[in-house]
Amino acid sequence: MNSEEKHIDFKSVYISYYSRMKHFAKEYVISDEDAENIVQDVFLEVWERRDVLAYHINLAAFLFTSVKNGCIDFLRSKVAEQKAEERMQEEYLLTFQMKYESLEAFDEGFFSEDKDIEKVISDAINSLPEKCREIFIKSKIYGEKQKQIAEELNLSINTIETQMSIAYKKLREELKDYIPLLLFLLG
Protein backbone atom coordinates (compact mmCIF):
# COMPACT_ATOMS: atom_id res chain seq x y z
CA MET A 1 0.00 0.00 0.00
CA ASN A 2 1.60 3.31 -1.03
CA SER A 3 1.34 6.56 0.96
CA GLU A 4 -1.43 7.98 -1.25
CA GLU A 5 -3.71 5.09 -0.38
CA LYS A 6 -3.36 5.87 3.32
CA HIS A 7 -4.76 9.41 2.99
CA ILE A 8 -8.34 10.10 3.96
CA ASP A 9 -10.59 11.01 1.06
CA PHE A 10 -11.59 14.29 2.68
CA LYS A 11 -14.36 15.12 0.22
CA SER A 12 -16.16 11.81 0.73
CA VAL A 13 -15.78 12.02 4.52
CA TYR A 14 -17.19 15.56 4.46
CA ILE A 15 -20.14 14.56 2.29
CA SER A 16 -20.83 11.44 4.37
CA TYR A 17 -20.64 12.99 7.83
CA TYR A 18 -21.23 16.74 7.69
CA SER A 19 -25.04 16.81 7.96
CA ARG A 20 -25.14 14.10 10.65
CA MET A 21 -22.47 15.85 12.71
CA LYS A 22 -24.21 19.22 12.36
CA HIS A 23 -27.53 17.69 13.44
CA PHE A 24 -25.77 16.05 16.40
CA ALA A 25 -24.13 19.34 17.45
CA LYS A 26 -27.36 21.31 16.99
CA GLU A 27 -29.11 19.06 19.52
CA TYR A 28 -26.77 20.45 22.18
CA VAL A 29 -25.87 24.00 21.12
CA ILE A 30 -29.31 24.89 19.66
CA SER A 31 -28.10 27.47 17.12
CA ASP A 32 -27.45 26.40 13.52
CA GLU A 33 -24.55 28.84 13.29
CA ASP A 34 -22.86 27.53 16.44
CA ALA A 35 -23.35 23.92 15.32
CA GLU A 36 -21.84 24.75 11.92
CA ASN A 37 -18.85 26.44 13.52
CA ILE A 38 -18.15 23.45 15.75
CA VAL A 39 -18.44 20.99 12.85
CA GLN A 40 -16.29 23.20 10.60
CA ASP A 41 -13.61 23.25 13.31
CA VAL A 42 -13.70 19.45 13.45
CA PHE A 43 -13.36 19.18 9.68
CA LEU A 44 -10.49 21.65 9.74
CA GLU A 45 -8.77 19.36 12.23
CA VAL A 46 -9.48 16.35 10.00
CA TRP A 47 -7.98 18.21 7.04
CA GLU A 48 -4.89 19.22 9.00
CA ARG A 49 -4.40 15.71 10.43
CA ARG A 50 -5.60 13.67 7.43
CA ASP A 51 -2.31 11.72 7.16
CA VAL A 52 -2.39 10.69 10.80
CA LEU A 53 -6.11 10.02 10.82
CA ALA A 54 -5.82 7.63 7.90
CA TYR A 55 -4.56 5.12 10.46
CA HIS A 56 -7.45 5.83 12.81
CA ILE A 57 -9.59 2.68 12.90
CA ASN A 58 -12.95 4.27 13.64
CA LEU A 59 -13.25 7.60 11.84
CA ALA A 60 -16.94 8.02 12.76
CA ALA A 61 -16.13 7.67 16.47
CA PHE A 62 -13.32 10.21 16.11
CA LEU A 63 -15.60 12.70 14.32
CA PHE A 64 -18.49 12.43 16.76
CA THR A 65 -16.18 12.50 19.79
CA SER A 66 -14.56 15.65 18.39
CA VAL A 67 -17.98 17.25 17.84
CA LYS A 68 -19.05 16.22 21.34
CA ASN A 69 -15.91 17.80 22.82
CA GLY A 70 -16.46 20.92 20.73
CA CYS A 71 -20.02 21.16 22.08
CA ILE A 72 -18.81 20.70 25.65
CA ASP A 73 -16.21 23.46 25.23
CA PHE A 74 -18.80 25.75 23.64
CA LEU A 75 -21.38 25.15 26.39
CA ARG A 76 -18.75 25.51 29.14
CA SER A 77 -17.75 28.91 27.74
CA LYS A 78 -21.41 29.99 27.46
CA VAL A 79 -22.03 29.03 31.11
CA ALA A 80 -18.92 30.98 32.19
CA GLU A 81 -20.03 34.01 30.13
CA GLN A 82 -23.50 33.85 31.70
CA LYS A 83 -22.06 33.70 35.22
CA ALA A 84 -19.77 36.67 34.51
CA GLU A 85 -22.71 38.60 33.09
CA GLU A 86 -24.78 37.84 36.19
CA ARG A 87 -21.95 39.05 38.47
CA MET A 88 -21.65 42.25 36.45
CA GLN A 89 -25.40 42.74 36.64
CA GLU A 90 -25.27 42.21 40.41
CA GLU A 91 -22.52 44.85 40.74
CA TYR A 92 -24.53 47.19 38.50
CA LEU A 93 -27.63 46.75 40.68
CA LEU A 94 -25.58 47.33 43.84
CA THR A 95 -24.31 50.59 42.34
CA PHE A 96 -27.86 51.70 41.53
CA GLN A 97 -28.99 50.75 45.02
CA MET A 98 -26.19 52.82 46.55
CA LYS A 99 -27.08 55.80 44.36
CA TYR A 100 -30.76 55.47 45.21
CA GLU A 101 -30.03 55.30 48.94
CA SER A 102 -27.62 58.21 48.71
CA LEU A 103 -30.26 60.42 47.10
CA GLU A 104 -32.78 59.48 49.74
CA ALA A 105 -30.28 60.20 52.51
CA PHE A 106 -29.05 63.45 50.98
CA ASP A 107 -29.41 66.40 53.30
CA GLU A 108 -28.48 69.95 52.34
CA GLY A 109 -27.00 70.50 55.80
CA PHE A 110 -24.62 67.64 55.09
CA PHE A 111 -22.04 69.92 53.48
CA SER A 112 -22.26 72.65 56.11
CA GLU A 113 -21.46 70.36 59.02
CA ASP A 114 -17.95 70.53 60.40
CA LYS A 115 -16.76 67.05 59.36
CA ASP A 116 -13.49 65.87 57.92
CA ILE A 117 -15.15 63.95 55.13
CA GLU A 118 -11.91 63.03 53.37
CA LYS A 119 -10.64 61.38 56.57
CA VAL A 120 -13.91 59.48 57.00
CA ILE A 121 -13.69 58.16 53.43
CA SER A 122 -9.97 57.43 53.69
CA ASP A 123 -10.51 55.53 56.95
CA ALA A 124 -13.34 53.53 55.39
CA ILE A 125 -11.23 52.57 52.37
CA ASN A 126 -8.27 51.75 54.62
CA SER A 127 -10.50 49.44 56.68
CA LEU A 128 -10.92 47.15 53.66
CA PRO A 129 -8.81 43.98 53.56
CA GLU A 130 -5.47 44.65 51.84
CA LYS A 131 -6.12 42.97 48.46
CA CYS A 132 -9.70 44.23 48.39
CA ARG A 133 -8.50 47.79 49.09
CA GLU A 134 -5.83 47.58 46.39
CA ILE A 135 -8.34 46.38 43.80
CA PHE A 136 -10.92 49.00 44.82
CA ILE A 137 -8.38 51.84 44.58
CA LYS A 138 -7.12 50.68 41.19
CA SER A 139 -10.69 50.48 39.90
CA LYS A 140 -12.41 53.48 41.45
CA ILE A 141 -9.58 55.93 42.14
CA TYR A 142 -7.29 55.23 39.18
CA GLY A 143 -10.06 54.14 36.79
CA GLU A 144 -8.43 50.88 35.70
CA LYS A 145 -10.57 48.24 34.00
CA GLN A 146 -11.12 44.90 35.73
CA LYS A 147 -9.24 43.00 33.03
CA GLN A 148 -6.21 45.28 33.46
CA ILE A 149 -6.29 44.88 37.24
CA ALA A 150 -6.57 41.10 36.91
CA GLU A 151 -3.51 41.01 34.64
CA GLU A 152 -1.47 43.35 36.89
CA LEU A 153 -2.23 41.36 40.04
CA ASN A 154 -2.17 37.95 38.33
CA LEU A 155 -5.74 37.21 39.47
CA SER A 156 -8.85 36.04 37.65
CA ILE A 157 -11.52 38.52 36.63
CA ASN A 158 -13.87 36.52 38.86
CA THR A 159 -11.64 37.31 41.85
CA ILE A 160 -11.59 41.00 40.92
CA GLU A 161 -15.40 41.06 40.65
CA THR A 162 -15.77 39.27 43.99
CA GLN A 163 -13.37 41.67 45.72
CA MET A 164 -15.18 44.70 44.25
CA SER A 165 -18.48 43.31 45.52
CA ILE A 166 -16.96 42.88 48.99
CA ALA A 167 -15.59 46.44 48.88
CA TYR A 168 -18.98 47.88 47.88
CA LYS A 169 -20.75 46.05 50.68
CA LYS A 170 -18.22 47.04 53.35
CA LEU A 171 -18.01 50.67 52.21
CA ARG A 172 -21.77 50.90 51.99
CA GLU A 173 -21.99 49.85 55.62
CA GLU A 174 -19.05 51.99 56.80
CA LEU A 175 -20.23 55.09 54.94
CA LYS A 176 -23.98 54.74 55.23
CA ASP A 177 -24.18 58.30 56.60
CA TYR A 178 -21.82 59.65 53.91
CA ILE A 179 -22.97 57.87 50.74
CA PRO A 180 -23.86 61.07 48.83
CA LEU A 181 -20.35 62.41 49.26
CA LEU A 182 -18.73 59.06 48.52
CA LEU A 183 -20.60 58.88 45.22
CA PHE A 184 -19.67 62.48 44.44
CA LEU A 185 -15.96 61.87 45.10
CA LEU A 186 -15.64 58.42 43.48
CA GLY A 187 -18.39 58.60 40.85
Predicted confidence (pLDDT) per residue in 82-129, tens digit: 988 888 888 888 888 777 776 666 655 555 554 566 777 788 889 999
- Tell me what pLDDT residue 38 has: 96
- Tell me what pLDDT residue 1 has: 37
Tell me, which fold does domain 3-77 have in CATH? Answer: Rna Polymerase Sigma Factor; Chain: A (1.10.1740)
Tell me, which fold does domain 106-186 have in CATH? Answer: Arc Repressor Mutant, subunit A (1.10.10)
- Tell me what pLDDT residue 110 has: 55
- Tell me what pLDDT residue 118 has: 73
Q: ∠170-172-175 over CA atoms, to 5°?
A: 105
Gap between the Cα atoms of 61 and 67, Å rounded: 10
Residue ranges covered by each domain of the chain: 3-77, 106-186
Phi and psi at residue 66, to the nearest 5°: -65, -40
- Tell me what pLDDT residue 11 has: 87
- Tell me what pLDDT residue 2 has: 42
Q: 168 and 128 in contact (C-beta within 8 Å)? A: no
- Tell me what pLDDT residue 59 has: 81
Q: 91 and 164 in contact (C-beta within 8 Å)? A: yes
Residues of the chain with pLDDT under 50: 1-5, 114
- Tell me what pLDDT residue 115 has: 58
- Tell me what pLDDT residue 35 has: 96
pTM of the model: 0.49
- Give the 3-state secondary structure percentages of the chain, helix then strand then coil, rounded to 5: 80, 0, 20
Q: 66 and 37 in contact (C-beta within 8 Å)? A: no
CA 57 to chain centre: 39
